[in-house]
Amino acid sequence: MASATDFLLKAGDPKGGWPYRPGTQPSPEPTCLGLMALASVREAAAAREAAIHWLESRMNSDGALTLIGDNQPHWSTSLFVIALMRLGVRNDLQEKAVKWLLAWKGERVEPKKEITLDGALQGWPWATGTFSWVEPTSYALFALKLAGHGRHPRVVEAERLLLDRVCQDGGWNYGNRVVYGAAFQGYLPNTALAALALQDSPAARPTVERGLAFLERGIQTHQSTLALSLAILCFLVFSKPTAALVTALKSRQHSDGSWRQQVHLTALAELALQAAAGGANILALPPARS
């Protein structure tokens, strides 16, 4: 059976970066995840360097990453910050991306009786001019904390936003929790991401504990590659058991070393397994200084 490393090395674009599927054009998300998954692989040194250069070529003048053929800023700029910091390279690009992240905001939502959330709170959107969603807000919140901006007003407000978006079952959905009186259910990957984004917040701990309980219940029966990988990374941060999840994740690996022939899923699964084996956890914040 081939390894995930083998698959990722073969899947890389010759000119730099990684695509979602081998043979297609590179994209920022799989490239950032691929960089981190291969961070300690000696044979991947050239691929890492080419990937960083490719990502730099996709950065606009404001500091945001963009997709090929699209000049709109992309949410994966948060992942780029995380990847650069985890690799310990290119402080110049880190600073430029962080400056842009601090300025990019989701749109406020006018109060409506159909929607019970606090629409005045601003986090981060998927795309400019849209609502603040849980996933991009969680990634941006984590990236900014990792970059040393844990007390910035944007970070404080984003924490409030995530606490405002918790579903009745304790998990997090995509953004709304109740619409037209209907309660939305939590979604496992988003719950893991939100808990990770709030991992260093004492005030959020009771809410995070509810989220972890929801995640522990749900991951027993809803085991996608994405959910398992993020749950492992999350549970390691909060000292929860992961052995059964590691076994389940390994069982989903294909003979070519991949998970579903998807680069981003393969890289994320590999990162989860590396962390479970005692390696670095890309979504763990360093201990707070006393």
Give the pair of three-digit tokens for residue 27. 């994209």
Q: What is the structure's pLDDT at 221?
A: 96
Q: What is the structure's pLDDT at 290?
A: 47
Phi, psi angles (nearest 5°) of residue 187: -120, 130
Element (H, E) at 233: helix 225-237
Q: With H, G, I as helix, E, B as strand and everything else as coil, classify residue 116.
A: coil
| Residue 14 exposure: Cα atoms within 13 Å on the Cβ side | 1
**From residue 166, how far is each of 7, 34, 194, 231 by CA, in Å?**
37, 31, 9, 17
End-to-end Cα distance, the chain: 47
Task: State the pTM of this model.
Answer: 0.97
**From residue 216, how far is each of 12, 251, 258 by CA, in Å?**
34, 19, 25
Alpha-helix runs per DSSP H in 69-204: 77-87, 91-103, 134-146, 153-164, 188-197
> Mind listing the pLDDT tens digit of every residue in the chain (290 residues)?
679 999 999 999 999 999 999 999 999 999 999 999 999 999 999 999 999 999 999 999 999 999 999 999 999 999 999 999 999 999 999 999 999 999 999 999 887 777 778 889 999 999 999 999 999 999 999 999 999 999 999 999 999 999 999 999 999 999 888 777 788 899 999 999 999 999 999 999 999 999 999 999 999 999 999 999 999 999 999 999 999 999 999 999 999 999 999 999 999 999 999 999 999 999 999 987 64
Residue with tokens 């996709």: 58
Q: What is the structure's pLDDT at 113?
A: 72
- What 17-23 contacts at long range (C-beta under 8 Å, 24+ apart), as own/partner pairs, is 17/50, 17/51, 17/54, 17/55, 18/51, 18/263, 18/267, 19/263, 20/262, 20/263, 20/264, 21/261, 21/262, 21/263, 22/261, 22/263
> What single letter denotes the amino acid at residue 163?
L
Where residue 16 falls (left for φ over 0; alpha for ψ -120 to 50; beta otherwise) is: left
| Residue 151 exposure: Cα atoms within 13 Å on the Cβ side | 1
Residues 89, 132: Cα–Cα separation, whole Å: 30
Q: What is the structure's pLDDT at 178?
A: 79
Burial category of 136 from C-beta neighbours within 10 Å (exposed 0-12, middle 13-18, buried 19 and up): buried
**From residue 70, how far is each of 59, 73, 127, 166 by CA, in Å?**
11, 8, 12, 33
Q: How many CB atoms lie within 10 A of CB 19?
A: 19
Q: What is the structure's pLDDT at 289?
A: 60
